[in-house]
């Protein structure tokens, strides 16, 4: 915008200088009829309106120049505000999480919530389910969590569409299992995607993992091996 403003101002200044140096007069074409009195009267009226440039108020170019500058500044400010408003807000990063201790990993066996509130717990569960070729539920749940952290409206719509195509569409190889009521609700919500489009579906998948995937994981050799990696065979008695 700044370059555009400079070009306009420079052109206007050259135009004013040219007019002043050449003494050009602003006139309109009129018919040449000397013998017609009506034409002479019309010429008389026009001559009052069409003054030579030398008779124009000398402050006029300055006033026009000021108006032009003011308009340019307003346009530049408007563009700046628009740019600020359309600036994308980055997704808030997750807080760094320390490596889990034996006590934390051991607590995973008590409740599914204990496991899912740690990203390390989600990671180990996802690796276990991937080995069973059934990781679509945990991947869908994590994608919904990422969608909730998004702030840019355009990216919300894009991410919602990707989640739908990857996990809700009947054509997807990773389609999650949802009942008809929740599936219909998701289809309705996709008419106007938001961060809460998949809330019901996410809750249903969470319960499904708690009932099905979680018991298999805490009773698996993979989970026992993770506990043994700490060098502790059992929890100390308080």
Segments making up each domain of the chain, as ranges: 2-77, 102-228
pLDDT digit string (tens) for the chain, length 238 residues: 555 555 566 666 555 555 555 444 434 334 434 344 444 555 454 444 444 444 445 555 555 445 454 554 455 555 454 444 444 555 555 556 788 999 999 999 999 999 999 999 999 999 999 999 999 999 999 999 999 999 999 999 999 999 999 999 999 999 999 999 999 999 999 999 999 999 999 999 999 999 999 999 999 999 999 999 998 655 554 5
* 31 neighbors 39 (Cβ within 8 angstroms): yes
Residues 6+ apart with CB under 8 A from 137: 129, 176, 205, 208, 209, 213
10 Å CB burial of residue 208 (0-12, 13-18, 19+) is middle
Q: Rounded distance, CA 137 to CA 135, Å?
A: 6
pLDDT at 59: 53
Output the DSSP codes for 9-47. HHHHHHHHHHHHHHT----------SS-HHHHHHHHHHH
Token duo for residue 179: 């009942």
Q: What is the pLDDT of residue 117?
A: 94
Residue 151: its H or E element: none
Total length of the chain: 238
Q: Which two tokens stand for residue 43?
A: 């010429």
Tokens, residue 7: 């070009």
For the entire predicted model, the pTM comes to 0.61
- Return the pLDDT at 231: 87
The gap between the terminal CA atoms of the chain, to the nearest Å, is: 70
Q: Give Cβ neighbours of residue 198 (< 8 Å, ≥ 6 apart).
A: 140, 144, 147, 160, 163, 168, 186, 189
Q: 221-228 vs 119-131: helix axis angle to the nearest 10?
A: 140
Give the phi and the psi of residue 97 in degrees, each rounded to 5. -120, 125
Look at residue 36 in the predicted model and tell me its pLDDT.
44
CATH number of 102-228: 1.10.167.10
Which residues fall within 8 angstroms of residue 110, CB to CB, at 6 or more apart? Answer: none
d(C-alpha 111, C-alpha 214), whole Å: 9
Question: Which pLDDT score is estimated for 9?
Answer: 63
C-alpha–C-alpha distance, residues 115 and 92, integer Å:
22
């Amino acid at each position: 915008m700044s370059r555009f403003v400079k070009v306009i101002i420079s052109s206007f200044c050259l135009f004013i200088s040219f007019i002043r140096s050449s003494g050009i007069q602003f006139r309109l074409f009129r018919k040449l009829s000397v013998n017609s009195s009506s034409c002479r009267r019309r010429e008389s009226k026009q001559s009052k309106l069409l003054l030579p440039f030398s008779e124009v108020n000398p402050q006029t170019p300055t006033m026009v120049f000021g108006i032009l500058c003011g308009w340019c500044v307003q346009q530049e400010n408007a563009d700046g505000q628009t740019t600020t408003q359309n600036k994308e807000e980055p997704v808030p990063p997750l807080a760094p999480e320390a490596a889990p201790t034996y006590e934390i990993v051991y607590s995973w066996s008590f409740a599914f919530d204990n496991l899912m509130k740690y990203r390390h717990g989600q990671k180990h569960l996802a690796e276990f389910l991937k080995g069973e070729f059934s990781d679509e539920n945990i991947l869908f749940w994590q994608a919904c969590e990422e969608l909730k952290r998004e702030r840019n409206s355009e990216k919300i719509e894009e991410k919602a569409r990707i989640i739908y195509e990857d996990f809700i569409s009947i054509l997807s190889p990773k389609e999650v299992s949802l009942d008809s009521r929740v599936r219909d609700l998701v289809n309705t919500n996709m008419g106007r995607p938001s961060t809460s489009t998949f809330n019901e579906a996410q809750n249903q998948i969470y319960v499904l993992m708690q009932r099905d995937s979680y018991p298999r994981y805490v009773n698996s050799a993979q989970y026992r091996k993770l506990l043994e990696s700490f060098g502790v065979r059992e929890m100390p008695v308080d």
